[in-house]
Amino acid sequence: MGKDVIIACDFNSKQEVLNFLDKFEDRKPFVKIGMELFYAEGPAIVKEIKARGHKVFLDLKLHDIPNTVKSAMAVLSNLDVDMCNIHASGTIPMMEAAIEGLTRQDGTRPLLIAVTQLTSTSEERMKADLLINEPIDKVVMHYAKNTKTAGLDGVVCSPLESQTVHNACGKDFYTVTPGIRFADGDVGDQSRITTPEKAKQLGSDYIVVGRPITRADDPVAAYNRCINEFVD
Between residues 59 and 70, which has the closer beta carbon with respect to ligand C5P? 59
Between residues 90 and 212, which has the closer beta carbon with respect to ligand C5P? 212
> Is 204 in contact with 158 (CB distance < 8 Å)?
no
Between residues 66 and 81, which has the closer beta carbon with respect to ligand C5P? 81
Beta bridge partners of 206: 4, 176
**Calpha distance 31→16 (Å, rounded):** 14
Task: Write b or e for each residue in 23-43: b if 16 or more Cβ atoms lie within 10 A of its Cβ, otherwise e.
Answer: ebeeeebbbbbbeebeeebee
Between residues 164 and 190, which has the closer beta carbon with respect to ligand C5P? 190
Min CB(118)–ligand C5P separation in Å: 6
> Is 56 in contact with 21 (CB distance < 8 Å)?
no
The total of other beta-carbon atoms located within 10 Å of residue 126's CB is: 18
Catalytic residue status for 61:
yes
Question: What phi and psi values does residue 7 have, to the nearest 5 degrees?
Answer: -90, 120
Q: Map residue 140 onto helix, strand or coil.
A: helix
Min CB(164)–ligand C5P separation in Å: 16
Between residues 66 and 157, which has the closer beta carbon with respect to ligand C5P? 157
Min CB(51)–ligand C5P separation in Å: 22
Interface ranges with ligand C5P (CB under 6 A): 8, 10, 34, 119, 156, 178-180, 190, 208-212
Which one of the listed residues 14, 61, 145, 198 is annotated catalytic?
A: 61
Alpha carbon 8 to its chain's center: 9
Min CB(93)–ligand C5P separation in Å: 24
**Calpha distance 141→133 (Å, rounded):** 14
> Is 17 in contact with 42 (CB distance < 8 Å)?
no
Min CB(92)–ligand C5P separation in Å: 21
Chain residue whose CB lies nearest ligand C5P:
210
Q: Are strands 83-87 and 30-34 parallel, antiparallel or unpaired?
A: unpaired
Active site residues: 61
